[in-house]
Amino acid sequence: MYARFSSSDVATTKSEKDLEFSIQKAYDLYYYLLLLLTAIKRYAESRIDLAKNKIRPTHEDLHPNTRFIDNRLIRQIEDSAAFNAYLSERKLSWVNHPELIKSLYRKLTAAEYYIAYMDAPVGSYEADRELLVDFFSGELEDHELFFQIMEEQSIFWNDDIDLVVSIVVKTIRAMSAEQGIKLLPMYKSDDDREFACTLLRASIQNHSEYEKLIDESTDNWDIERIALTDKLIMHMAINEFIEFPSIPIKVTFDEYLEVSKYYSTPKSSVFINGLLDKISANLIEAGKIVKIGRGLITES
């Protein structure tokens, strides 16, 4: 939306293609982050092999603690045919970033939870799982080199990392010793794919109408003074109010206020909330918001 209305010569079809491309890149990131685990594990294996091949290896070199490289969940990810097929198709690899893998390995092995995991009297599948969850919850945040590499590879990824990490953690938590990894699809259903494109398309097509609604609701405030990002967030929210009868009004409010906190100024969410509240009330009164579905019939 921002790219479309920041330039006068961007066609709606191009905006839709850009949207689909950005979603595909986010899905690539999902696999890429899972692959990060196997890359770190292989680096750990290489260090063990080097230690064993010293001219004068120590007892510890010859009898290393292999709990991390034997992590059951990492092995299940490595052995997944679907995982490897996607990596091959999309040509995803960390091979060109050994410095990052080395840095993350050092950061991981210095962490208290890793030391406790390695020193525990016995291991378990659950302990293997929690190690990976702890890694994604703590080691990537504020890692300058990681974010630098992500930005170099895709302009979309820095915005997507927090969301995709949460999905990776969800995937890891859903793994089991019996069934291994169940990789999530790019879209939950065809309806989700259609929702994304319809939301974008309709928000663009009804741009003038939504501008008018915002203008009429801003008492003593010039619409031109409202930040473009704030206006576009409201456009999409208004579109959901009107065009998507199965989405509760409260859900739309919550989603777009959250988006505004991420993309707009600290005060934007309060401003957007007030305007959307006024606009939704006017639309309900005019009969333009009709919600259909279980628990929604009387919402309007």
DSSP character string of 182-204: -PPPSSSSHHHHHHHHHHHHHHH
Stated length of the chain: 300
In a domain, 110, yes or no: yes
Q: What is the pLDDT of residues 92-142, one digit of tens each?
A: 999 999 999 999 999 999 999 999 999 999 999 999 999 999 999 999 988
The encoded tokens of residue 105 equal: 């390995």
Q: Are residues 164 and 217 in the same domain?
A: no
Q: What is the pLDDT of residue 222?
A: 62
Number of structural domains the chain divides into: 2
- CA distances to 6, 129, 213, 239 from 12, rounded to whole Å, are 13, 44, 22, 16
Reduced to 3 states, what is the DSSP secondary structure of residue 49? helix
Instruction: Region of 180 please: left (phi>0), alpha (psi -120 to 50) or beta.
Output: left
Name the residue range of residue 113's domain: 24-173
Measured CA to CA, the distance from residue 35 to residue 79 in angstroms comes to 12
Q: Does residue 201 fall inside a structural domain?
A: no
Written as six digits, the tokens of 186 are 């790019």
Same domain, 76 and 152: yes
Does residue 148 share a domain with residue 211?
A: no
Do 268 and 167 belong together in one domain?
no
Per-position pLDDT tens, the chain of length 300: 988 888 777 788 889 999 999 999 999 999 999 999 999 999 999 999 998 888 888 888 888 999 999 999 999 999 999 999 999 999 999 999 999 999 999 999 999 999 999 999 999 999 999 999 999 999 998 899 999 999 999 988 988 999 999 999 999 999 999 999 999 999 999 999 999 999 999 999 999 999 999 988 887 666 667 889 999 999 999 999 999 999 999 999 999 999 998 888 888 899 999 999 999 999 999 999 988 865 454 454
pLDDT of residue 6: 85
- What are the tokens at 86? 């996607």
Residues 6+ apart with CB under 8 A from 134: 111, 113, 114
**Cβ-based neighbour number of residue 39 at 10 Å:** 19
Q: What is the Cα–Cα distance from 225 to 263, expressed in whole angstroms?
A: 17
Query: In this predicted structure, what is the pLDDT of residue 297?
Result: 47
Return the CATH number at 268: 1.10.940.10
CB-based contact 197:16 (threshold 8 Å): yes
SS3 36: helix
- Do 165 and 246 have their domain in common? no
pLDDT the model gives residue 99: 97
Q: What is the dihedral of CA 261, 265, 267, 269, to 10 degrees?
A: -30
| Whether residues 141 and 96 fall in one domain | yes
Res 300: pLDDT? 47
Is 235 in the same domain as 107?
no
Of 173, 189, 219, which residue constitutes the final position of a domain? 173
List Cα–Cα distances, 70 to 36, 114, 118, 128, 217, in angstroms. Answer: 16, 14, 11, 9, 61
Q: Which residues contact 197 (CB under 8 A, 6 or more apart)?
A: 16, 19, 20
Residue-level pLDDT at 199: 95
Cβ(194)–Cβ(9) below 8 Å: no
CB 210 within 8 A of CB 241: no
